[in-house]
Homo-oligomer: A and B are copies of this chain.
Amino acid sequence: MLTERQLLILQVIIDDFIHTAQPIGSRAISKREDVKYSSATIRNEMADLEEMGFLEKTHSSSGRIPSEQGYRFYVDHLMSPFLLSGQDMNLIQSMFGDQLMEFERVVNKSAQILSDLTNYTSIILGPEVFETELKQLQILPLNNQSAVAILVTNTGHVEHRSFTIPVGLEPSDLEKTVRILNDKLKGVPIYKLNEKIEREVVTLLKKHTTDFKKSYDYIQAALFSEEPTQLYVSGKTNIMMQPEFKDIEKVRNLFSAIEEENQIAPLLRSQNKGINVIIGHENEHAAMRDCSLITASYALGEEHMGTIALLGPTRMEYSKVISLLNVLSNQMTKTFKSWYQNS
């Protein structure tokens, strides 16, 4: 177990390193007014802490820096809670005060606030949309050749596609098709749409429309060619400002990794509810081994969950980031709840 003094020293080192990014030596610590031991004593303690794996040296005669295990201990036991400044709180409040927002905008703004307030990179994962229900399907002809299909879910999510109307498709058929679809599909969860169409709608369509095949291809195309982008990233530039990323090769690797949506999304999706802290090599993705990733979950309505996250160097302001993510995820959950209850 660690003694009080060791705890103090560890805390001082980590706090300092988080802000300066420089190895810290015994003398510097002993000079602090809240530390009343000589540098020699500190040196001894530091040697012990290093032996226990909480500290590292960059070279044999350098000052100490925290190891990943050190950060882990800090996050789990040592960190003092962070009080967000009134200014920051205001910024957040004012954003959620706005009555008129669609989901995408809230998320985008949240991502921006997160990255602005921390100078790290924020990543927000939207909720799985598949469980949401179809509220309305509309096909609106723009002219002879083209139309726009608009699909609204019960969560207020809107998808739309423009398309060209195949030559020879009767407008009346199109209209009928849409009417039938709305009749039958309202309230059906998105992920069941396909099945439902196959089972119930196809026969109906066959009966009622003269050009069944075309209408059908249509629906298919309009409804299911989606690849829902659910990843919102903000402040990618911030990561370049960190001194640990002064060599461009690292930045490149990291950026490439972030841009691979199908790498990041599952990672975030697989996190537990609440706050998660993933430090350095705890991350399964090699490209993020120099980083820490803090995630927090938010809820959209009763069922759907999304994740907000901050990506920064392992030398991260854990305390601040965690507070911020807490506040923001709660605020998001609250806001979405107010939108979607009784739906």
Interface residues of A (CB under 8 A from B): 99-103, 135-136, 138, 140, 142-146, 148, 150, 152, 154-156, 158, 160-164, 221-222, 225, 236-237, 240-241, 245-248, 251-252, 255-256, 259, 338-343
Cα distance, A152 to B152, chains bound together (Å): 14
On chain B, the residues within 8 Å of A343 by CB distance are 142-143, 146
On chain B, the residues within 8 Å of A259 by CB distance are 237
With A143-B341, A339-B164 as given contacts, are A252 and B241 in contact (CB-CB < 8 Å)? yes
Cα distance, A222 to B340, chains bound together (Å): 18
Would A142 and B252 count as touching, CB distance under 8 A?
A: no
Q: Which of B152, B160, B164, B251 contacts A240 (CB 8 A)?
A: B251
Q: How many copies does the complex hold?
A: 2
Would A162 and B103 count as touching, CB distance under 8 A?
A: yes
Cα distance, A103 to B140, chains bound together (Å): 16
Would B161 and A339 count as touching, CB distance under 8 A?
A: no
Would B252 and A237 count as touching, CB distance under 8 A?
A: yes
With A162-B101, A248-B246 as given contacts, are A142 and B240 in contact (CB-CB < 8 Å)? no
On chain B, the residues within 8 Å of A164 by CB distance are 99, 338-339
Would A100 and B252 count as touching, CB distance under 8 A?
A: no
Which 7 residue pairs of A and B lie closest in terms of their CB atoms, listed nearest first? A156-B162, A102-B162, A143-B343, A158-B160, A100-B163, A148-B156, A237-B255
Distance in Å from the Cβ of A305 to the closest Cβ of chain B? 19
Cα distance, A225 to B98, chains bound together (Å): 11
Would B248 and A251 count as touching, CB distance under 8 A?
A: yes
Q: Which of B100, B150, B342 contacts A145 (CB 8 A)?
A: B342
